[in-house]
């Protein structure tokens, strides 16, 4: 018999089942293509359709077609049956909902804006091992934002210099030292040397200041190498690893998540390359969806932007953070990280915009302090304390010289 034509993938009366994965897309149909026709082709191509009518034996067919069930302006809603997806395989899911459809001639542009994840799919993923609880389980941040920094310049420092900068920042009051996204295992600063010496410095600082500190060492590499680096971090007594989740790929993230659970390590997710997918507002994959994928795959922190206060272009940071903090069928929440062009003079605005259940990362805003890294770290901690106490930064700075100097240098503006 003949079956499975484009019209079979459009049903505006369909009410998605509780087990369906429901995706929202923004689309711009190609010239001469109606919204209905384009929507049906999106649903077809991303599930089990093709361009030609087929002769199918119904007895040998499992009906796994997606349904375009909503059209509102330039937005469409597509519902996918859970049986279409392999359990626990993020690459396979993305090959459906963000695969060939991104290059279809039926649309001039298409953007995956949001997903509603049913428990039938989330149950196949581990979610974060720690999530927001790292502030108390692995550090002594309590209810204040976690503070982090990347030594600057971000690449080129020798291992000794990198460790020295990190130690000064820890002593000044930050909780976490972080590698840059493009610092891994280069000759000028080898991975294992940097790992061992940084964690030795961490132990000295903890002994002296009485606060737990840690190091977000970048393990990003080929997947097998990453897993071996995770083992090295555990051997040296580290509590965290950092992964460039987009550039290494989702299957690699899932492999790292599995190994980290064996060692009790938390995962800091850097989103380098995210803007290749999410910067255009009419095509690609939104940062909101990238954050959702990250939570399912099991990262504990992820960079989500600065609500317009930093140097990088961002989407709806507060909305993304709310989703990361909210309920998702029992998966642990994720700690959002604000980074990029931050300094002590904007901390009060950042906390007003995003709350306290975040990580604040400042690089140049610490190391560019006129009195050096130690003073810059103290200024960031002072700005955080002032904000939590409800004291204006200028007033708090009257009794805190490091903050006063930072405000004199940067004021309350952010770089571009």
| Both structure tokens of 48 | 């089990």
- Taking only Cα atoms into account, the Rg of the chain, rounded to an integer number of angstroms, comes to 24
User: CB-based burial of residue 28 (10 Å sphere; 0-12 exposed, 13-18 middle, 19+ buried)?
Assistant: middle
Is 154 noted as a catalytic residue in this protein? no
Q: How far apart are the first and last CA of the chain?
A: 62
209: left (phi over 0), alpha (psi -120 to 50) or beta: alpha
Catalytic entry in 162, 178, 213, 270: 270
DSSP 230: H
CA distance to 236, 246, 250, 278, per residue, from 286 (Å): 37, 13, 16, 5
Axis crossing angle, helix 223-235 with helix 191-209, rounded to the nearest 10? 30
Q: Judging by DSSP bridges, how do beta strands 240-244 and 67-72 pair with one another? A: unpaired
Which is it for the CA torsion 111, 316, 215, 263, positive or negative? negative
Catalytic entry in 152, 263, 325, 329: 152
Q: Report the C-alpha gap between 92 and 318 in whole angstroms.
A: 29
Q: What are phi and psi of 4, to 5 degrees?
A: 55, 75
Q: Determine contact, residues 81/66, Cβ cutoff 8 Å.
A: yes
3-class DSSP state of 238: coil
- Give DSSP secondary structure letters for 72-113: ETTEEEEEE-GGGS-TT-HHHHHHHHTTGGGG-TTEEEEEEE
| Both structure tokens of 370 | 């006129």
Dihedral, 314, 316, 317, 322 alpha carbons, nearest 10:
-160
Q: Determine contact, residues 214/191, Cβ cutoff 8 Å.
A: no
Is 152 noted as a catalytic residue in this protein? yes
Q: Report the C-alpha gap between 370 and 317 in whole angstroms.
A: 31
Which residue numbers are catalytic? 152, 270
């Amino acid at each position: 018999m003949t079956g499975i034509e484009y019209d079979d993938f459009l049903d505006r009366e369909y009410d998605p089942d509780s087990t369906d994965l429901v995706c929202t897309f923004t689309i711009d149909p190609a010239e001469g293509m109606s919204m209905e026709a384009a929507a049906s082709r999106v649903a077809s191509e991303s599930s089990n359709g093709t361009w030609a009518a087929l002769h199918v034996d119904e007895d040998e067919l499992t009906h796994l077609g997606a349904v375009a069930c909503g059209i509102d302006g330039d937005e469409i809603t597509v519902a996918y049956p859970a049986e279409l997806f392999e359990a626990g395989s993020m690459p396979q899911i993305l090959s459906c909902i963000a695969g060939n459809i991104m290059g279809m001639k039926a649309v001039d542009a298409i953007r995956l804006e949001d997903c509603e994840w049913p428990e039938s799919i989330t149950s196949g993923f581990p979610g974060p091992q720690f999530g927001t609880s790292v502030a108390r389980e692995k550090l002594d941040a309590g209810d204040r934002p976690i503070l982090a920094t990347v030594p600057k310049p971000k690449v080129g420092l020798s291992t000794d210099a990198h460790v020295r900068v990190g130690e000064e920042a820890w002593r000044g009051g930050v909780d976490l030292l972080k590698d840059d996204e493009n610092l891994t295992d280069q000759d000028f600063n080898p991975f294992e040397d940097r790992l061992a010496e940084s964690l030795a410095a961490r132990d000295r600082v903890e002994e002296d200041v009485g606060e737990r500190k840690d190091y977000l060492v970048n393990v990003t590499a080929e997947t097998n190498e990453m897993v071996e680096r995770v083992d090295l971090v555990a051997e040296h007594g580290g509590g965290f690893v950092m992964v460039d989740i987009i550039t290494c790929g989702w299957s690699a993230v899932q492999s790292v998540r599995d190994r980290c659970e064996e060692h009790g390590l938390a995962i800091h997710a850097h989103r380098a390359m995210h803007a290749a997918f999410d910067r255009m507002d009419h095509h690609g994959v939104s940062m909101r969806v990238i954050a959702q994928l990250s939570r399912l795959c099991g990262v504990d922190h992820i960079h989500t932007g600065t609500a317009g206060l930093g140097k990088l272009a961002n989407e709806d940071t507060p909305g993304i953070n709310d989703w990361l903090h909210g309920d998702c069928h029992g998966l642990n929440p994720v700690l959002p990280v604000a980074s990029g062009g931050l300094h002590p003079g904007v901390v009060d605005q950042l906390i007003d915009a995003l709350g306290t259940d975040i990580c604040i990362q400042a690089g140049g805003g610490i190391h560019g302090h006129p009195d050096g890294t130690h003073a810059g770290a103290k200024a960031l901690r002072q700005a955080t304390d002032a904000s939590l106490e409800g004291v204006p930064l200028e007033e708090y700075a009257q009794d805190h010289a490091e903050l006063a100097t930072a405000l004199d240098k940067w004021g309350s503006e952010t770089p571009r």
